[in-house]
Structure 1
């Protein structure tokens, strides 16, 4: 039985919305959770495959293989990863920032943006539960991701300075940012290649089907669970990119390089192990 991690955020819904779970249940067990817990579970070997934070792959690259052309990326604004601040971002040096405990990629991306791109060196970070009012009670800014960020942006627009991290990354690098990747443990790939292949094609087909109708049916379902309106959610899904081609991979490698230089990664990840579904594994430098 393959243990499958399923991120509980809307940004990955296109991959899961049309999955044939009944068919896949013959060989797959789905384990839903937030990114940080799935990252830890993948590292410990408690799940075999699934969407994880891209930073988590960088931490454990020697034990993982990436699925091809499956990821959550943005070429600019991502729409669900926001820094909320009481002061302009240029004035944050020396200030206190609350970080969500939900994701590794976004917290390290924020640190790179603030320290590398804005030159802020005297920042005080606190990691805590993603509850906006508690985070902002004693901090000058806070980072939220996923549905928490979207809900807060609806409430706080015009009340706070709100910065989209995908947009900031692109402004400074002119490269896409990959927030989540679909990774497999190498041991699982050796033991269950056919089950993993079936999962890969189902994920791929689900996203393609969601894309084909402009994410309309998916948007209607998300409105019921999270509020908002269909136009908002269709625009949100259309803005995100669900490919993981050479350009996205180079952007991710650049993120890893900066993360290593800033001391956030123990090793310089200079290549990605990407599964060739029909043949074998290959690397992108």
Structure 2
């Protein structure tokens, strides 16, 4: 079994307390990569379970199932998915926007927001995430994860929009950026190991929450810098559950993605066949 681990700080609590030595003894490997890479590996059957973009789940809902009660979501500001713009968002008509190559969910979310919520038509180009280079050639850029956090610290006079905040203001529902999913055939091929991994991820999340993310924050400080107060606010501002409200939010996201032509059909979601 190969576990996909998104290489961003926001998802660390779901993996933090995994017994990696035990998993290695069971023949498990762990692949670290940005969301778009994990998505592609899972679609090509090179990753069996992992955190993937919600949009990727929507494209592959017939072949994937969700590990229950796990997501990376927000009720409002997510603080790591930003549109940086030289213009106010309502004035972006006919402008050019650089999209990070690291994301699927947030790219689709931005297109939904500009089309459905602001009625703005723009041109898009996917680029390697680099704050300065993007804004040298484009009117605005979308960055996610640690790239977005780093860029926010030097965003200066640019207009900055948190996509999680806009979504919540417009819908009153949480935005689900990533889910924990697995390929359906894992249930029959490696059912007991799948169950162990899923339960371990839930236990890791719950332990991190009981500890108020303090051990996670200390690790992130050594790797990324910043202040304890920033990371404390960041992790406590994220939501790692998956409840009925999350299901409503994800369904609406998929519905709007279909209406915008980003998904071909409405995914048949939220089968909890995981045991």
Same fold (TM over 0.5): yes
Distance in 2, matches of 1:252 and 1:40, equals: 21
Question: Does structure 1 conserve the Cα–Cα contact (< 8 Å) formed by 2:79 and 2:162?
Answer: yes
Q: 4+ runs of 1 displaced by more than 6 Å? A: none
Q: CA RMSD in A?
A: 1.0
Specify every segment of 5 or more residues in structure 2 that has no aligned partner in the other structure, as ranges.
none
Query: How far does residue 201 in structure 1 lie from its aligned partner after superposition?
Result: 1.4
- Aligned match of 1:254 in 244, 252, 266? 252
Distance in 2, matches of 1:95 and 1:84, equals: 13
Question: Does structure 2 conserve the Cα–Cα contact (< 8 Å) formed by 1:83 and 1:163?
Answer: yes
Query: How far does residue 175 in structure 1 lie from its aligned partner after superposition?
Result: 0.7
Question: Does structure 2 conserve the Cα–Cα contact (< 8 Å) formed by 1:257 and 1:270?
Answer: no
What's the CA shift string for 1:186-229, capped at 9, x where partnerless?
Answer: 11122111111111111111111111121111101101101101
What is aligned with 1:50?
Answer: 50
Distance in 2, matches of 1:79 and 1:29, equals: 31
- Aligned match of 1:182 in 163, 176, 180? 180
1:140-179 equivalent positions in 2, closer than 5 A = 140-156=139-155, 158-179=156-177
Distance in 2, matches of 1:225 and 1:69, equals: 28
Query: How far does residue 26 in structure 1 lie from its aligned partner after superposition?
Result: 2.4
1:1-285 equivalent positions in 2, closer than 5 A = 2-27=1-26, 28-121=28-121, 123-156=122-155, 158-277=156-275
Specify every segment of 5 or more residues in structure 1 that has no aligned partner in the other structure, as ranges.
278-285
- Taking structure 1 as the reference length, the TM-score comes to 0.94
Distance in 2, matches of 1:142 and 1:235, equals: 25
Aligned length in residues: 274
Distance in 2, matches of 1:58 and 1:11, equals: 21
Query: How far does residue 270 in structure 1 lie from its aligned partner after superposition?
Result: 4.4
Question: Does structure 2 conserve the Cα–Cα contact (< 8 Å) formed by 1:253 and 1:270?
Answer: no
What is aligned with 1:283?
Answer: none
- Taking structure 2 as the reference length, the TM-score comes to 0.97
Query: How far does residue 275 in structure 1 lie from its aligned partner after superposition?
Result: 3.1
Question: Does structure 2 conserve the Cα–Cα contact (< 8 Å) formed by 1:64 and 1:273?
Answer: no
Question: Does structure 1 conserve the Cα–Cα contact (< 8 Å) formed by 2:73 and 2:175?
Answer: yes
Query: How far does residue 276 in structure 1 lie from its aligned partner after superposition?
Result: 4.3
SS of the aligned residue for 1:155 comes to coil
